Structure 1
Amino acid sequence: MRNTENAALNEKLMRAAAQGNLEAVKKLVLRGTDIYFRDQHGDTALSLAAGNGYLDILEYLSSVKKNEIT
């Protein structure tokens, strides 16, 4: 992916996680979006989901992280 496309996808992932949109988060992860991306405030999709109480997204992103390691 190109840098501009990466940036747009990362922003979409952050927004989807912050708004509790699990389906959008899943689609973006499948497209290869960087789940470790940090915005200008140091937030990640995982931290935004956790901070807004979206446990389903928190669990999903945590499982994606585990699967990447193994």
Structure 2
Amino acid sequence: MKHLLLILIVAVVVYAAWNLASPIERRHGARLITRHALRLGAIVAVVLLLLAAAYYLPATGIL
């Protein structure tokens, strides 16, 4: 639950910073986001896939 609250707080702060930024900074930020969105989306998808695999696959007896 703490993680959810932390994510919510970060989202509100980022939203407020985005709205308080000047139009030039917003334009530069939008370009940066669109340039890296595919890579970030791929990383998030891989992490979610690994979390799902860790949840559904049984542990191995390596140790």
Which structure has the larger Rg?
2
TM-score by shorter chain over 0.5: no
Q: Which has the higher contact order (CA 8 A, sep 6+)?
A: 1
TM-score with structure 2 length normalisation?
A: 0.33
